[in-house]
Amino acid sequence: MASDMNDYFNKKKSQSGGNSGGSNGGNGGGRGPEFPKIDLNFGGGKAGVVYFLIAVVLLLVLAKPFTIIEEGQRGILSTNGKYQDQALLPGLHFIVPIIQKVYTVDTKVRIINYASRMEANSVKTGIVAKPAITVLDKRGLPVSIELTVQYRLNAKFAAQTISNWGFSWEDKIINPVVRDVVRNVVGKYDAESLPTLRNKVAAEIEEGIRKSVRSLKNAPAILQSVQLRDIVLPVKVKEQIENVQIAKQEVQKAQQQVQRAKQEALERAAQAEGVAQQARIEAKGKADAVTIEADAKAKANLLISKSLTTQLLQLEQMKVQGKFNDALKVNKDAKIFLTPGGSTPNIWVDMKNPQKRTSAK
């Protein structure tokens, strides 16, 4: 091909030189412009090697005999339609074009939100939105359960899982198991009791889902967590629960009032008891004081009586008689009645005023 092109340019060159000599012979036979000679042989047989390399590169680009598995993924190698038992780990892997093909599956944590308010699915973030699970309670009343289930594909058995369940394994494993377990757990209780038994119901649902997933062959999925977000009850049941709650609050309020009244009564009784105790203490104190005073007087009188003698009594009577004698000097009309021994008072009678009497000891 390169030789033909050179012949073509040489032929063109010779034709151009002949035409110039015929037309410009009078000008001294001048020659036309010369074209550069292009060597397309690339030094002989090297051209074939270059073309071969270019063809190989194009073939590699078009056929793509390799694949790259990213972190958080596993590769399922299919050879003539048959899956290899061992999944490909993250990294670069070479395959035979046309005969082999690699399917990548995600092993990162994925989420299914069962909610009454639907949200858009996000493939990139691994979040799937599904309607809330509607089940019947023990009496046949409809109850909606909102859950969040976190799980991931078991990387160890990824190839077996895809081979057995296909690429839509989530809809065949996780979703049916969750709905079945929720139906069995909630169906054991009355709708009214579900809010008060929320923690117990949540624990039973999570335990049931884990047990069901683990019982599957080769453990296709690993359950991360199950979160019970909300229990949506029928309107009538909600109203009934609210009425019961209001009644309970009223009872509690009445009990608190009774308790408060009892407490106040106890406080008043304690206060009255305190006052009575204080009065008793004061009365006892006064009685004790009177008793002590009487005892003191009695003891004093006893001491006085023991100290009285005949001579002392005579002396006292003589003092009284002396007072009377002094009084007679002032009032000569008075009469004095003396009682011997001093057992009774001596009587002074003022004769000027018979109604007026004075007695002295």
3-class secondary structure for 14-70? HHHHHHHHHHCHHHCCCCCCCCCCCCCCCCCCHHHHHHHHHHHHHHHHHHCCEEEEC
Q: What is the pLDDT of residue 273?
A: 84
Element holding 188 (H helix, E strand): none
Residue 111 sits at φ, ψ, to 5 deg, of: -130, 135
Cα separation, 229 vs 204, whole angstroms: 14
Give the Cα separation of 228 and 205 in Å (integer). Answer: 8
Say whether 351 sits in a helix, a strand or coil: coil
Measured distance CA(6)–CA(284) in Å, rounded: 149
Taking residues 300-327, what's their average pLDDT?
73
Specify which of 50-59, 137-146, 276-285 reaches the highest per-range mean pLDDT.
137-146
pLDDT at 141: 87
Question: What is the 3-state composition of the chain as percent helix, strand, coil, each rounded to the nearest 5?
Answer: 50, 20, 25
Share of the chain above pLDDT 90, in %: 22
Its pTM stands at 0.53
Above 70 in pLDDT, residue 221?
A: yes
Q: Are 306 and 317 in contact (CB under 8 A)?
A: no
Highest mean pLDDT among 49-63, 74-88, 270-284, 323-337: 74-88
pLDDT at residue 7, rounded to an integer: 53
Contact 342, 321 (CB under 8 A): no
Answer whether residue 192 shows pLDDT above 60: yes
Classify residue 215 as left (phi > 0), alpha (psi -120 to 50) or beta: alpha
Q: CA 312, CA 301: separation in Å to the nearest integer?
A: 16
In this structure, are residues 186 and 135 in contact, taking their beta carbons and an 8 Å threshold? yes
pLDDT at res. 3? 46
User: What confidence category does residue 139 fall into, taking pLDDT thresholds of 50, 70 and 90?
Assistant: confident
Work out whether the CA dihedral 281, 283, 289, 292 comes out positive or negative: negative
Name the residue with tokens 């003698």.
309
pLDDT at 357 over 60: no
Q: Quickly list DSSP for 208-268.
A: HHHHHHHTSTT--EEEEEEEEEEEE--HHHHHHHHHHHHHHHHHHHHHHHHHHHHHHHHHH
What CATH number does domain 110-233 carry, 3.40.630.10, 1.10.10.10, 3.40.50.1470, 3.30.479.30? 3.30.479.30
Q: What is the pLDDT of residues 272-308, one digit of tens each?
A: 888 888 888 888 888 888 888 888 888 777 777 777 6
Residue 71: partners with Cβ closer than 8 Å, 6 or more residues away: 90
d(CA 161, CA 83) in angstroms, rounded, equals 11
Contact 228, 147 (CB under 8 A): yes
Least confident of 1-5, 32-36, 214-218, 263-267: 1-5
301 vs 91 pLDDT, higher one: 91
Would you say 175 and 113 are in contact if contact means Cβ atoms under 8 Å apart? no
pLDDT band at 45 (very low <50, low <70, confident <90, very high): low
pLDDT at 296: 81
Cα–Cα distances (Å) from 93 to 108, 264, 358, in that order, read 21, 85, 148
**103-132 tens-digit pLDDT:** 999 889 999 999 987 666 665 677 889 999
Decide if pLDDT at 18 tops 60: no
pLDDT for 42 beyond 50: no
- Can you read off the two tokens belonging to residue 11? 């032929």
Please check the confidence at residue 22 and state whether its pLDDT lies above 60. no
pLDDT confidence band for 23 (50 / 70 / 90): very low
**What band does 352 get if pLDDT is binned at 50, 70 and 90?**
low
Check residue 14 and give its pLDDT: 53
pLDDT at residue 28, rounded to an integer:
42
